[in-house]
Amino acid sequence: MSASLLRVAVRGPSTTFFRANPIRPTPLAARAGVLPGIIAGSTLPTASFSTSQYMRSEHKEETFEEFTSRYEKEFEQVNDVFELQRNLNNAFAYDLVPAPSVVEAALKAARRVNDFATAVRVFEALKAKVENDGQYNQYLDELKPLREELGVVLKEDLYPEAK
């Protein structure tokens, strides 16, 4: 006699060997009410996918002056190359071009941590971020005394394109 028949004999008579409608456990998220758009135990959403709830932000809008002063302070506190590059990435990630005073603080921080390559790349980032060459030239004119003082050469000067 096989083991499976012995188990059936011990349990007693059963109506079926297999359940026609197995009980599926409800996901914890649905039980806790985390998924309000889905009925517990069902796969059909109660609302269509195109509707969305307005998400409120608790953060206030930051003005350009507040942005400028915040990043000037950030660059004054830089102690290593990682912090400098992280702050540069964050400053250039916004949908605006940083003020010349922020770029000046970044260049001084690059000099403080002795990172020439990042100082050159600050100007590359400026060139990519501004809308036209006229704005880029205005930044270059305003930052020229600091560039000469720190000895920062532009990429265009290092690698002139063949004309």
Residues 71-91: pLDDT tens digits? 999 999 999 999 999 999 999
* pLDDT, position 60: 80
Residue 67 has pLDDT above 90, yes or no: yes
The interaxial angle of helices 116-129 and 100-112, nearest 10 deg, is: 160
Residue 9 maps to a domain: no
> Which CATH number goes with the domain that contains 98?
1.25.40.40
Long-range contacts of 90-98 (CB under 8 A, 24+ apart): 92/125, 92/129, 94/67, 96/64, 96/67, 97/126, 97/129, 97/130, 97/135, 98/67, 98/68, 98/71
* pLDDT, position 5: 53
Residue 145 maps to a domain: yes
Residue 6 has pLDDT above 80, yes or no: no
Residue 146 pLDDT level (bands cut at 50, 70, 90): very high
Residue 81 maps to a domain: yes
* pLDDT, position 61: 87
Residue 132 maps to a domain: yes
Residue 40 has pLDDT above 70, yes or no: no
The one-letter amino acid code at 28 reads L
90 CB-side CA count, 13 A: 15
Cβ neighbour number for residue 123 with a 10 Å cutoff: 21
Domains in the chain, number: 1
Residue 24 maps to a domain: no
Residue 159 pLDDT level (bands cut at 50, 70, 90): confident
Residue 141 has pLDDT above 70, yes or no: yes
Mean model confidence pLDDT for the chain: 79
156 CB-side CA count, 13 A: 9
Report the percent of the chain where pLDDT is more than 90: 56
Write down the pTM of the prediction.
0.62
